[in-house]
Chains A and B, each alone.
Chain A
Amino acid sequence: MNSQRSAWTFVAPALFVLGVFLVLPVCAALLLSLTDFDLYALANLDNMRFVGFGNYLDIFNTPLFWKALGNTVWFVVLSLPLSLAASLGAALLLNSPLARFKGFHRTALFAPVVTTVVAVAVIWRYLFHTRYGLINYGLSFLGIGPIDWLGDPHWAMPALALFAVWKNFGYNMIILLAGLQAIPQDLYEAACIDGASRRRQFWHITLPGLRPVLLLVAIITMAGYFQLFAEPYVMTRGDPLQSTVSVLYLMYEEGFKWWNLGRASAIAFILFALIFAITRLLLRLARARGETA
């Protein structure tokens, strides 16, 4: 009995923190999303009313919500494949027996991951500058005319996607590199003896061996990209023409600019229901393919 009590003194502080500052707020968020909690309720709780699914219906009838959702999905569609390709390419290069100075290259390619997103977003805002930015300067050598990256509604989201890929691909590179190193070397040796080409080895040994890791990395990255916020906050403030308003940016404005905390909670829940659903879908697709393969 005594040892039970002392065991509890080990876990109680951490469980208290998680309970009070994570579990309780998540439950409260669900309730809050069913109320019209706003600036008046903030002053006096008597001004709060239960509105059922009113917030959700309201949001689904708001054009800006659909615009933000479309923007966010577009951002994910642009950056996710690019990011995965960059991470896989970098991991394959680092894993190659021909590569020199691996430690240096790994550190250099990973460095953006540990940087502060606000600080590097500020850098990229200037790199994307139409007249004085390094990116347009570099493109001018390829004969590509100046692009108004952050001022043109068609280019703003691709610009943020490029930045996000630069910032994040190193994370997946490290995980994929570990995945590559876990593939048994004798599989490659056997393939060599059988005379399989490099390309066939990649398609028949490397990719199947990496599949579980690739799936994991795709899900983590997808969920992270759906939570786009700091980039538009610092680089574009949602402009031009609201083309970079993300769902989380909308939630932030709704909640902490207009103080519609009930509506903002509902937006948060919709976003995470979406992420959850896509995760389930990816897992199911992977399992179905795993069974047929």
Chain B
Amino acid sequence: MGFLDQFWQLTIDGLMVGSLYAVIALGYTLVYGVLQLINFAHSEVFMLGSFGGLFVARALLPGDGSVPGGLESVGLVAIGLGAGAICGGLAALTLERVAYRPLRRRSAPRLAYLISAIGASLFAVNLAGKEFGRQNVDLPDLFHNGTVFKLFGADVSTQSLVIFAVAIAMLVGLDRLVAGTRLGQGIRAVAQDADTAVLMGVDVERIIIVTFIVGGLLAGAGGFLYAMTFNASYSMGFVPGVKAFTAAVLGGIGNVRGAMLGGLLLGLVESYGGYLFQASYKDVIAFLVLVAILMIRPSGLLGERLGRAA
């Protein structure tokens, strides 16, 4: 079968994964917009969120080993999403308090933040490995009616439909939050100029915390979706983390809509590339994309500023 035969199938898979990258990328981009700081430990927020969602969903599975279906599945997904989001938000909040806030109080140099985030990431990954074991954890397939409909001859499964729909809903919701609410106005104000925002009466401290929490909620919910499709493990955060970061840079880091576009594009590129070359080189493709953008257009497709473009 040639590439063209597979084209639509690859597109659908790419969009599904890409929408997850977009959801994670938003966390990088929001924190970057507000603090001009790459939150290296964001991938661990994602990991902890997916564990949280997965464990809650597993606890609610019927004990007799039967797999739920229909409305039960929808309920499980909703609960898992909620639990994942809460765990992600808590993880992001803790991260901000422990690894970032003490440094902000001192106006520490930027290098200190990066290193502190690396330390926090190392700590979280290995503690999760110790507490939850170092094997993959997964959830039985919640949707087993397979293909819902065919699109240009390609199968669209319920699973990918659910993931895509939820991810897009979160993206649109976040976009409305940033563009249309008072909180979003605060976020954009801090992103444009934190010092001036203080003078205008914006509580920068609060905005920073809320930004971390929003990023964490999204990453946690996205983590549950990811774990539902693939699986969860203590070291799961790294690869999607780097890819989401690539997506954020691709769209223009600090730019909310850029992160969405970047995520979807990266998912597609990876899906096509993985088919054309070799599936095991998928991760390399994302990295090459990152280096290429940094060389050709470091400000990304849609430009960098959260304040301007959102």
Q: Report if A and B associate in a common complex.
A: no
A residues with CB within 8 A of B: none
